[in-house]
Structure 1
Amino acid sequence: MDEEVERVHHLHDDAIVITDYTTRRVLVDNGSSTDILYYPAFQQIRLRQDQLYPVNSPLVGFGGMKVQPVDTITLLVVVEDYPQQITKEVNFLIVDYSSSYNAIIGRPTLNSWKAVTSTYHLSVKFPIEYEVEQVQGDQLAA
């Protein structure tokens, strides 16, 4: 356990931000009740408009403001490299709002991954087959 902490500079209150993947700057937020893909990231990955589904309920929590999602989309998310990876469909709300992140992974996905987050270690652990895999957050990006 101590070797996991060696890469993290303490004392900190940093968020868990994953940067090692195609969609960089993904915030892991077990305080978020939904998974969010920000509109600029949606535009950059050039998905087809027919993959979008309308949504009619606003989000609250962006600085206390209500934000109306643009649409919702289901994407296949892969974390880590084969064979130590998890691959799941994630339902993202697409939000046209300014953010330093491209996406937020919230409780729905963390629960479906059976993930455990540690802000102290800046890491996320999740079970795969017969072992536990770990994704390390990027403290500089946080």
Structure 2
Amino acid sequence: MVDQGSSEDIMYPDLFKGLNLKLEDLTAYDSPLISFKGKAVISKGKIRLLVQSRPETVGVDFIVIDAYSPYTTIVARPWLHALGAISLTLHVKVKFPSGKQIEEILGSQSVARQYISAAILHQTEPESSVSATEGL
């Protein structure tokens, strides 16, 4: 998922495990994140990985969190800026310069709808988080 409003690139457990990463691979990251539900989520840590987008490869600092998501990752402004990309949410695509041409990453509206439906239907288990308004 591309989230133009987020200032952090997020990695979820499925991708973390799928890449055979270990907790020892993470560096400390102790700033809480605010979830879509308005709760503070404590991360497991941070990891820098190279992400290839066709001919371009950029380093991305992912914040790893242990929470349910139908997505494996959320790429945000840092990834978009590193790539020099523009996200077109209506058309589910990202465009970025590469050499003398413009490359394009196409998404699928039907798959995006399936992910959103899964997120809405998923009954989340109690998270180890606190409300963002608690303690204010």
Q: Could you say which TM-score interval applies, normalised by the shorter chain? A: 0.7 to 0.9
CA contact 1:40–1:96 (8 Å) conserved in 2: no
Runs (5+) with no aligned partner, structure 2: 113-136
- Structure that is richer in helix per residue: 2
1:37 Cα deviation from its structure 2 partner: 0.4
Pick the aligned partner of 2:10 from 36, 52, 60: 36
1:103 aligns with 2:77: no
- Higher RCO structure, 1 or 2 (CA under 8 Å, sep 6+): 1
What residue is the counterpart of 1:22 in the other structure?
A: none
1:50 Cα deviation from its structure 2 partner: 3.5
What residue is the counterpart of 2:25 in the other structure?
A: 51
**How high is the sequence identity, in percent, across the aligned residues?**
38
- Structure that is richer in strand per residue: 1
What residue is the counterpart of 1:86 in the other structure?
A: 56
What residue is the counterpart of 1:71 in the other structure?
A: 45
SS at match of 2:15: helix
1:95 Cα deviation from its structure 2 partner: 0.6
1:120 Cα deviation from its structure 2 partner: 2.1
Once the two structures are superposed, what CA deviation does each residue of 1:49-72 show, in whole Å capped at 9, x if it has no partner?
A: 442101111001331010001110
Distance in 2, matches of 1:88 and 1:29, equals 17
User: Which consecutive aligned stretches of 4+ in structure 1 deviate over 4 angstroms post-superposition?
Assistant: none
* Residue correspondences, number: 112
Distance in 2, matches of 1:49 and 1:64, equals 26
Counterpart AA for 2:72 = N
